[in-house]
A and B are shown apart, each in its own frame.
Chain A
């Protein structure tokens, strides 16, 4: 059953429930549990919008504004992505969440040998500012904010976004972008890293420093517990590792003489919603509280609005199954319910066909509608934090808080997140857990509807494997041809001298300690390519070598 461990007796009655984070759940809860856990309303909850923000970061939450929906979108050429953006906006989506193809994410131009077969496949292909101009043409960048799902070269895309906005006549004060820009989590899961750990962290630091000084409405980093969870971390580890990553970035920026008070309010989080419903809700509530407490007590942050844990709670990719894909529609709805009961500010849902393919317009729209049903039809906007005061939820929230602290202490014992990743500690732990969990799923120790454990294969409990009837998103070779032709024309027509000069400035900054961001903006305006800018970084920083994972 589900993704918790259920120990049953011979009559199928549940004897014990153990959540992935290691918390045991009792048959029922009462006031004595709250007393035993030392629960105090003022200390542990407070009113919504009041420290420690367990209940909500805003006093009115969804009463004043429904969540922002940001379905992950992008494929093929920038022109095609632009059409899909406009479709999603006309359907009521309130922010963009941009997908880039792998060559762009890895800092290669479309004509690089390693880009072959990948151009435009899992996101849109960006080679230069020209492509950004095409992708964001006609999008009101002063009203619509954009998440840019890119990490190793996030600095380049942030500069590109600013340059494109400036071309369209917006000033950098008006635009709001949230590049994902969390390189440390790429090294734990997802794998789109390029440069060695310390250089990766320096680039994140550069972008935060730049945003503090130049981009008042942008949030330079979105810390992703999400992918760490997808890679095999428990919900408690998801939060603990995300917070330890945040600490690594905070320390880098503090070394530049900037006070935490001046930038931590710009951090946002990307957290996962799949798993046991109650455990997720307790996780988000505990996370809001712990983040505020940590910033206040360890970093001396005073202003309430800088203590908010903001972000996107959504996705749920790992919860989806390839078997019986229609079941994923239901799963998505319940994951989204969990996010709504947790007061998610921004959300997005994986589409039911994502275990197979890039979502079709129909499945992406279905996800958007699922989110709307929660807000507009069934009453999730009615009152703030409706589960507050539940004996179970409050006890679980406190237990979750303790588990998260425990996991954070382990990372600190290893010497902090940068060391833990360089030495492979976190990666090995998470991979091992992913393996154990997968074994449990296959043996039937964990259950997912539609997934037949090995012992039941071929029995009457096995419906047989029927190829799922999902429509596949086709890869179009013409995307690469078009990108490469554009790139060739660009190289012929741009001012080569300007480009060379800007790249030289970038190289000098990268070698020293000067912030690379202003140089990147200049390079983008001169139509330097992503491959050229990332090439400068590759040459100056070198590439990371993963530690052994056994």
Chain B
């Protein structure tokens, strides 16, 4: 990524869960930190997320998942990203993520995991560091 280019991130809510406070407050925090944030809205299918990420040419897809389905969702989305050529787009995930699932998510290829309770500062640093 070119220096000084703003990071573009799609904050996305996959699946049927509608708890969007986390996604919205993180979107506001990232925007205040100077990133270009696109918010997907609720109830997105993985196809819709891939489509938005492609159209908006984002650098990062940030999933917000509260339902407990983070492992199957990330696995599937990562495979779809490969398939659709989104190989330079980073995938991150936040939400209700039990500690023991973090290594499993990393193995799937999730670039950064932000479980509930992670500070805005750590999220911003974590996303910036993906482009160091």
A residues with CB within 8 A of B: 102-103, 105-106, 108, 114-118, 121-122, 186, 189-193, 230-232, 321-323, 355-357, 431-432, 434-435, 438-439, 442, 451, 454, 457, 467-468, 472, 475, 545-546, 549-550
Q: A189-B21, A356-B96, A434-B25 are in contact. Are A322 and B68 (CB under 8 A)?
A: no
B24 and A431 form a contact (CB under 8 A): yes
A431 and B25 form a contact (CB under 8 A): yes
Which residues on the A side are within 8 Å of B115 (C-beta)?
Answer: 322
A192 and B18 form a contact (CB under 8 A): yes
A105 and B16 form a contact (CB under 8 A): yes
Nearest CB in chain B to that of A468: its residue: B99
Q: Is the interface of A mostly helix, strand, loop or mixed?
A: loop
What 1/0 flags go to B91-118 for Cβ under 8 Å of A? 0000010111000000000000001110
A114 and B16 form a contact (CB under 8 A): yes
B21 and A230 form a contact (CB under 8 A): yes
B69 and A439 form a contact (CB under 8 A): no
Nearest CB in chain B to that of A438: its residue: B25
B20 and A191 form a contact (CB under 8 A): yes
Which residues on the A side are within 8 Å of B128 (C-beta)?
Answer: none
Which residues on the B side are within 8 Å of A232 (C-beta)?
Answer: 21
Nearest CB in chain A to that of B120: its residue: A442
- Give Cα distance in the complex from A549 to B23, angstroms: 11
B residues with CB within 8 A of A: 13, 15-21, 24-25, 27-29, 31, 39, 41-43, 45, 67-69, 72-73, 96, 98-100, 115-117, 119-121
Nearest CB in chain A to that of B16: its residue: A102
A-B pairs under 8 A by CB, number: 96
Q: A191-B17, A431-B25, A434-B24 are in contact. Are A102 and B67 (CB under 8 A)?
A: yes
- Give Cα distance in the complex from A452 to B121, angstroms: 13
Which residues on the B side are within 8 Å of A457 (C-beta)?
Answer: 119
Which residues on the B side are within 8 Å of A475 (C-beta)?
Answer: 68-69
- Give Cα distance in the complex from A105 to B121, angstroms: 35
- Give Cα distance in the complex from A93 to B116, angstroms: 31
- Give Cα distance in the complex from A451 to B118, angstroms: 11
**Min CB distance, A85 to chain B, in Å?**
22
A102 and B15 form a contact (CB under 8 A): yes
Which residues on the A side are within 8 Å of B100 (C-beta)?
Answer: 467
Q: A117-B72, A434-B24 are in contact. Are A191 and B116 (CB under 8 A)?
A: no
Within 8 Å by CB of B39, from A186, A435, A549, lies A549
**Min CB distance, A338 to chain B, in Å?**
22
Which residues on the B side are within 8 Å of A356 (C-beta)?
Answer: 96, 98
Nearest CB in chain B to that of A442: its residue: B119
Q: B18, B27, B43, B117: which has the most chain A beta carbons within 10 Å?
A: B18
Nearest CB in chain A to that of B115: its residue: A322
A231 and B99 form a contact (CB under 8 A): no
A103 and B16 form a contact (CB under 8 A): yes
Q: A114-B16, A431-B28, A442-B121 are in contact. Are A231 and B21 (CB under 8 A)?
A: yes
Within 8 Å by CB of B69, from A121, A186, A321, A550, lies A121
B45 and A186 form a contact (CB under 8 A): no
**Min CB distance, A476 to chain B, in Å?**
12
**Min CB distance, A453 to chain B, in Å?**
9
